[in-house]
Amino acid sequence: MVPFLNPANNQNSAAGRDRRLTVIVFSLFFSWLLAVPFEGQVLYAVTDFHGVSARPLMVGAMAAHFAGLVFCGFLVRNLRAAKRLILASISFCAVATGVFFFPPSFLWTAALLLAAFLVGACVAAWGFYFKGCTPKDERIKTMADGLIFSNIIMILLNMAAIHISPQFGLGFSILVLIAAFLFALRLPKEAASESPPAPEEKTITAAVANPLAFLCLFVIVISINSGLMYQTVGPAFVNLEWLTSWYWAAPYIAALFVMRNLPRKINRSYILYVAIAMIGFSFIAFLLLGRSWPDYLLVNTLLLGACGVYDLFWWSILGDMLEFGKNPAKILGAGLAANVIGVLSGGLIGNTITAVSGQIQNHTLLAFGVVCVTLVMLPPLHKQLTRLLKSHVYLTALSEMPVQEQTERIKELDIAEKLTETENKVALLLIQGKTYKAIAGEMFVSENTIRSHVKSIYGKAGVTTRAGLINLILKPPNPPS
Domain of 280, CATH number, reads 1.20.1250.20
| Position 481 in a domain | no
Residue 181: which H helix or E strand, with range? helix 166-184
Q: Are residues 248 and 343 in the same domain?
A: yes
Q: Are residues 183 and 275 in the same domain?
A: no
pLDDT for position 194: 46
pLDDT for 343: 87
- pLDDT, position 363: 66
DSSP result, 198-216: PHHHHTTTGGGHHHHHHHH
pLDDT of residue 410: 64
Contacts 24+ apart (CB under 8 A), 9-15: 11/192, 11/437, 11/441, 12/441, 14/192, 15/133, 15/135, 15/192, 15/193, 15/437
CA distances to 56, 244, 260, 276, 375 from 305, in Å: 29, 15, 13, 10, 18
Instruction: Please check whether residue 202 lies inside any domain of the structure.
Output: no
76, 132 contact by CB (below 8 A): no
φ/ψ (deg, to 5) at 19: -65, -45
314 and 182 co-located in one domain: no
The verdict on 378 and 438 lying in the same domain is no
- H-helix segments, 185-267: 199-202, 209-231, 233-236, 241-247, 250-260
Predicted local confidence at residue 205, as pLDDT: 53
Q: In whole angstroms, what is the distance from residue 481 CA to residue 471 CA?
A: 23
If asked whether residues 123 and 265 sit together in one domain, one would say no
Q: Per the domain annotation, does 203 fall within a domain? A: no
Same domain, 44 and 145: yes
pLDDT along the chain (481 residues), means of 10: 44 73 95 91 93 89 94 90 95 96 94 95 94 83 94 95 95 97 90 46 57 89 80 79 88 93 71 86 85 92 92 87 85 92 82 65 73 83 70 45 61 68 83 75 86 86 72 56 43
Which structural domain range is residue 351 located in? 209-388
Q: Are residues 327 and 368 in the same domain?
A: yes
What does the pLDDT read at residue 393? 37
Task: Count up the domains in the chain and report the number.
Answer: 3
pLDDT of amino acid 1: 38
Residue 201 forms part of a structural domain: no
* pLDDT at residue number 6: 47
**Residue 26 domain-assigned?**
yes
Residues 9 and 60 in one domain: yes
Residue 184 is predicted with a pLDDT of: 95
Both 366 and 404 in one domain: the answer is: no
Are 435 and 445 in contact, with CB atoms under 8 Å apart? no
Domain boundary among 388, 415, 432: 388
State the CATH number of the domain containing residue 403: 1.10.10.10
Q: Are residues 238 and 265 in the same domain?
A: yes
Q: What pLDDT, on the 0 to 100 scale, is given for residue 90?
A: 96
Do 22 and 76 sit in the same domain of this protein?
yes
| DSSP count for the chain of H helices, then E strands | 23, 0
DSSP letter (8 states) at residue 164 = I
